[in-house]
């Protein structure tokens, strides 16, 4: 797949840097690498990359620091590489401006999918009035959802959750973000409602709601609506 675009890799491990440079360049991206957070921040400023891949656990800078410093002036998508068992850190990072995460060890295909989603979402949400994925068709302007050309009824809240997820297709959305977007700022206690809405939406759009293929659960983090790339 030839894509083009500039990717900045910030990782202190030489193997990962080498692997990412070789494999991403072979996909047609331009890649610059650095091993410190400090250099990373200044490279964001000077090189203006399209996507940043940030490894957590840099020796010189906390990942959260990096994200918030970059977010002071840049909207460049940041994909964070984490290890398992840091769900809280992931959520904190996502809520403070990181766009997505990948748990190590990860496959190259997974990373490429994340990168292309990041490119697509760079700057804004999907603004097109319609969304199409497999059998599912959503017309945002009409608030209309169709499965196999048959209209499916959604309650207003169900629709709100579905459209929020679909507009961010490919991207992970944290639970607290979804709650804030739909129920307002003081709604962190409503998580069980969110689960129930997601379950109901799945029943309507998934072939097997107990084995969902469209709305995926990201353990301990939130939900991800799949996109064509995945």
Q: Applying CB under 8 A, which residues contact another protein?
A: 84-85, 87-88, 105, 155-157, 175, 191-193, 195-200, 209-212, 217, 219-220
**At its nearest, how many Å lie between another protein and the CB of residue 110?**
12
Between 39 and 87, whose beta carbon lies closer to another protein? 87
CB of 103: closest distance to another protein in angstroms? Answer: 10
State the minimum distance, in angstroms, from the CB of residue 219 to another protein.
5
CB nearer another protein, residue 14 or residue 196: 196
DSSP string, 181-196: HHH-TT-GGGHHHHHH
Q: How far is the CB of 153 from another protein (least distance, A)?
A: 13
Query: Shortest Cβ distance from residue 189 to another protein (Å)?
Result: 10
Angstrom CA distances, 95 to 100, 109, 215, stand at 10, 25, 20
Residue 153 corresponds to which tokens in the numbers above? 């009824």
Using a 10 angstrom Cβ sphere, with 0-12 exposed, 13-18 middle and 19 or more buried, the burial of residue 129 is exposed
- Of residues 58 and 179, the one with the C-beta less far from another protein: 179
72 Cβ partners below 8 Å, 6+ apart? none
Rounded distance between C-alpha atoms, residue 62 and residue 96, angstroms? 13
| Cβ closest to another protein, residue 156 vs residue 184 | 156
Do the beta carbons of residue 20 and residue 106 sit within 8 Å?
Answer: no
Helix, coil or strand: residue 218:
strand
């Amino acid at each position: 797949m030839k894509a083009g675009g500039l990717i900045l890799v910030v990782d202190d491990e030489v193997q990962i840097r080498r692997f990412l440079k070789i494999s991403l360049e072979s996909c047609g991206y331009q890649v610059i690498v650095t091993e410190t957070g400090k250099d990373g921040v200044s490279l964001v400023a000077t090189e203006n990359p399209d996507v940043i891949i940030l490894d957590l656990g840099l020796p010189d800078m906390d990942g959260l620091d990096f994200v918030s410093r970059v977010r002071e002036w840049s909207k460049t998508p940041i994909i964070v590489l984490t290890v398992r068992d840091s769900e809280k850190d992931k959520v904190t990072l996502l809520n403070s401006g990181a766009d997505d995460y990948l748990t190590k060890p990860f496959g190259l295909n997974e990373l490429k999918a994340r990168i292309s989603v990041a490119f697509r979402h760079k700057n804004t949400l999907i603004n097109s009035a319609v969304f199409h994925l497999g059998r599912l068709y959503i017309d945002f302007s009409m608030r209309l959802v169709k499965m196999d050309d048959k209209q499916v009824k959604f309650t207003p809240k169900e629709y709100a959750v579905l459209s929020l997820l679909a507009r961010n297709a490919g991207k992970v959305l944290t639970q607290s973000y979804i709650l804030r977007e739909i129920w307002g700022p003081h709604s962190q206690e409503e998580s069980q409602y969110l689960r129930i809405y997601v379950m109901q939406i799945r029943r309507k759009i998934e072939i097997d709601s107990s084995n969902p293929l469209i709305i995926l659960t990201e353990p301990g983090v939130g939900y991800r609506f799949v996109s064509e790339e995945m």
